[in-house]
Chains A and B, each alone.
Chain A
Amino acid sequence: MSNLSKEWAHSSLRGMMLIREFEETADKLSLRGKIPGGIHNSSGQEAVAVGVLSALDPLDVIATTHRSHHHTLAKGFSAREVMAELFTKSTGVSRGRGGSMHLGDFHRGHFGGNGIVGAGVGIAMGAALGIQQRGDAKVSVGFVGDGGVNTGRTWEAINMAVIWKLPLIVIIDNNQYAVETFVDRVTGGGDIAKRGEGFGLPSYTINGQDVVEVNEYTAKARQRALAGEGPTIINALTYRYYGHNVGEKGQYRTQDEILDWKTNRDPIDLFIARATSEGLITDSEVAALRDDVKKEVEDAVDFAEKSPQPDLNSILVDVDSGLLGGK
């Protein structure tokens, strides 16, 4: 008997499969020059995104990093609108203004990806302060990487969230490499979660390849935040299968290491094994989900290719409050 619901299992598995299919497809399109400006592929990190977002309410806020496709899809944005944004089309999440690194929509609680290392937590902390000031029953989640946790701004934001008991959850999407630098070589004190003790907030290092574990810790952190008890840090250990950016010639990791993660710690395979053994899903249902996400991504590419570029006359839209003629 499983303590997971069948519905949750299917939806989480589908969510992870969609991200994988999306990223594998986007990677190829980027290498072929169809997507301008390159992408940061999140293949391998699906359980962090789906585990966190499945524990949140749709109105909760997230702020993410340069690697944000997985968070955005897991938040419920459609493959169509995310792919269209990668193609910088007017039908994209950010109306074609942002591209891969600037997916976001404030009205749907997505405060954006950004190109500044460690900025996600600061943005999320500001959103958490806003939530507290307004008395909303929401939380704010800031994603940061293992490189970003060694920036000062991240800890300034965490400190403020602690003293003001802000409804903030810090998720370290810890794929262990800051571009080509291994986390242990540049991180004082070993386990990053130990830093939380010094700042006075609960802080956990967890298995980021286990979507259930990520979900449970996030749900607990959300309850704490809603109860007015303040922020939590979750350091989710994961791994990216591709380079930092598309087409990177990575020579800082061994092929054996990459293969080990892909073979023995793949978040999708691990969850299929668990869900199958607990009687939550059958082989044919898994196959049907694979077909389903493949079709969804094919449709998304078709949609993105056929969508128009933003109209030049709309260049001031969303830029100002109306002073310069924007809307």
Chain B
Amino acid sequence: MFHTIALAGNPNTGKSTLFNLLTGLKQHTGNWPGKTVLRAEGELKTEKHVYKVIDLPGTYSLYSNSADEEVARDYIIFEKPDITLVVVDATSLERNLNIALQVLEMTDRAVLCVNLIDEARKRGIHIDKEALSKQLGIPVVLISAREKIGIIQLLKTIDRMIEGKLITKGYKIKYSPQIEKKIKELESEIKQIFGDIFPARWIALRILDGDKKLLESLKAYIQNQQFSSEKHPSAQGGCCHGV
């Protein structure tokens, strides 16, 4: 069975270099349905497992600011990759961790790949991966996709995560009491509609932020689901979305 891995991160963090390294020549490219955004997917074989790797568009965040961001966000929310690799630039972690925190609000199944570690070392930047991992609650791997550093470690981490040997508990930002109260209120309503298929806390936050496009996506999803379950009950592709 295929497991899926999504690559997310800022532009110019070497995401695609890593993607090429992981998948080699086994790639398919095309567009995301209805969008002029490049979609690249490929196959990765480790010693024990086979993965489908999807290179999401490079974005600074995962809100609905652009088609790219929507594609990346919708993929993580609706397609639920088994693992999301958040690729960040070791030389400007501060800005890059923004998207890492956003991914963690959506899923716990993430690994932080601190890329360009060779470049950071050259500049005298030291990254305390244990501390980072502890704070974020997910595995952190220091890599250089260009120099092929840390890749074996990364593959091992992915395998262990898929096998359930790595328990992650992603860091969730605590907001002000006022916002937290609203989140709680919305969360229970969201759970009534969707059960546990979507991260209720994250959806509550998006609603509080006034994200209308997400509501549209959710609406489309509900209609689509009902449509497809009526049309062909548990037809092909029924690996995810267990309701």
> Does B associate with A?
no
